[in-house]
Amino acid sequence: MSSLTEIPAKQTQPRRFYGWYLVGVAWLLYGLGACPGYYSWPFFTPEIQSDIGLSRTQTGTVFGIFGFVISAVGPISGASIARWGIRNTMIGGQLLSALGFWLTSQSNGFTSCLVSFAILVGAGTGIGIMVPCQTLATEWFTRYRGRAIAVILTAGGAVGSAVTWFDRYIIENFSYRDGWQSFVLLEFILIGITLLFIKNSPANIGQFPDGASGPLLDDGEIKNSYDEETTSTWTSTTTIRTPQFYILLLCNVANVIPWSVSIGHGRLHLEDSGLTTVTATGILSVMVFMSVAGRLFGGLGDLVKPERVLAYSLLLEGLGVLGFLFSSNPTMAYFSTTTIAIGFGASYISLSVVAAKFYGKQRFAKTIGMVYLGSSFFNAPAAGIAGQIYDSLGSYTLAFATIASFSLVMGFIALRISPPIATKRLT
């Protein structure tokens, strides 16, 4: 069984709090575990289309289902964490990703790409990276939870921007298939890092969240021995009965679709607009890197209401998509993609902070897993539909305009969201 809810029998605090070291390790695991698959498929898309004859609809569908699977396995990851712990769950996902990358390097058709990349790599990423890395932050931190999550998830931007340049080097000097095979080796390196450094909870080494000298309340205050511990009665059933859950689910849709479609069709759209591959590479690299700034802004949820951060970041992301639609020169492209990136990064972080605030850290893995699962049914077909719209109309105008409008609407709705009320029980 997982030790996530254990409390140390003795306060045997080592001199240094291990949680901050763990943030660095989780940063590395998240960046190198999530980015190669997520950013390489869109970048390799022109070469894949040329090599095995896929259409934009098909490559978009593969990428969309990949995103769907990442989200859909969230509850599986949460259940695995509860039963076997964070470290074992990570290793299982990393092994699955390694298998998927190898099979993707051998794929020669639409169906084989769906199975090897979309399903296997997607499941490995979702199970082993997305939920576990965020759960580490919620287990090891209370007062600094938002900032810890933000720092970990900045890896998506920092490493992701480097991945686009690595991919360009691969296609200029080797084959995109060699790129997939290099990621197999990378997964085994990540397994070694996980085995050496990941600890499921502070209790495993006699520590408390935030490095405190005793257990903490949800607001970060240290409890004394005379305090009665109160625990919310949230369950999966009571959670999904609250309107706030569905608002968070739709906020995730409004956050992920603009990013995934912009990334999935970004190089194609920019080259259609007359920009060169080198220029498009630079724009997309900066876009991914600038999401780091957004993720850091998302950490402001420790200082101000995270609901407000979520709302304003969705509004920013929607405006960025409108700008990207009309990007016909590098200046406009850089500006609009940077706006999308900052909005996406801040939304991504603040959504997790809001979920932990609304439903508690003990329920976080399962709650965020359910949010990801529900939103994945909307997110999955988005890239494929955008490709189909282009194949039918010869333009992305309808796709990007619809996406931008939805993000703006959800941003205004998020401005009105408030925490759900749950009964409390004494334990």
Average pLDDT over residues 40-50: 92
Cα separation, 88 vs 100, in Å, equals 19
- What is the structure's pLDDT at 218? 47
State yes or no: pLDDT of 4 exceeds 80. no
Cβ atoms of residues 103 and 160 within 8 Å: no
213 falls in which pLDDT band (50, 70, 90)?
Answer: low
DSSP string of 202-268, one letter each residue: GGGGT--GGG-SS-B-TTSPBP-TTPPPEEE---HHHHHTSHHHHHHHHHHHHHHHHHHHHHHHHHH
- What is the structure's pLDDT at 404? 95
Cα separation, 67 vs 258, in Å, equals 13
Cα separation, 353 vs 247, in Å, equals 14
Q: What are the structural domains of the chain?
A: 18-205+236-419 (1.20.1250.20)
More confident call, 1 vs 378: 378
Average pLDDT over residues 19-29: 93
The one-letter amino acid at 153:
L
Average pLDDT over residues 361-376: 82
- What is the structure's pLDDT at 274? 86
State yes or no: pLDDT of 299 exceeds 80. no
DSSP string of 358-373, one letter each residue: HH-GGGHHHHHHHHHH
Using the structure block, give the residue that is written with the tokens 């001199």: 15
Query: Angle, to 10 degrees, between the axis of helix 243-272 and the axis of helix 277-298?
Result: 160
427 falls in which pLDDT band (50, 70, 90)?
Answer: very low
Average pLDDT over residues 218-230: 39
Average pLDDT over residues 126-153: 86
Q: Which of 150-154, 200-204, 310-314, 363-367 has the highest mean pLDDT?
A: 310-314
DSSP tag of 154: T
- Percent of the chain past pLDDT 90, that is, above it, reads 47
Cα separation, 50 vs 169, in Å, equals 18
Tens digit of pLDDT for each residue in 177-192?
999 999 999 999 999 9
- What is the structure's pLDDT at 166? 94
With residue 424 as reference, give the H or E element that holds it.
strand 424-426
Cβ atoms of residues 114 and 206 within 8 Å: no
State yes or no: pLDDT of 405 exceeds 50. yes
The one-letter amino acid at 132:
P
- What is the structure's pLDDT at 226? 30
More confident call, 100 vs 275: 100
Give the lowest-confidence range in 242-251, 252-261, 318-327, 368-377: 368-377
- What is the structure's pLDDT at 301? 56
DSSP string of 98-132, one letter each residue: HHHHHHHHT--SHHHHIIIIIIIIHHHHIIIIIHH
Average pLDDT over residues 27-33: 96
- What is the structure's pLDDT at 214? 58
Average pLDDT over residues 16-23: 89
- What is the structure's pLDDT at 99? 98
The one-letter amino acid at 200:
N
State yes or no: pLDDT of 221 exceeds 70. no
Question: Which is nearest to 21 in space by CA: 141, 129, 125, 128?
Answer: 141
pTM score above 0.85: no
- What is the structure's pLDDT at 127? 95
353 falls in which pLDDT band (50, 70, 90)?
Answer: confident
Tens digit of pLDDT for each residue in 63-91?
889 988 998 888 899 889 989 999 999 99
Give the side-chain half-sphere CA count within 13 A for 223. Answer: 15
State yes or no: pLDDT of 10 exceeds 70. no
Cβ atoms of residues 160 and 45 within 8 Å: no
Instruction: Share the mean pLDDT of the chain.
Output: 86
Cα separation, 253 vs 307, in Å, equals 16
Tens digit of pLDDT for each residue in 266-293?
888 888 888 888 898 889 888 888 888 8
Number of separate helices (H) and strands (E) present in the chain: 18, 2
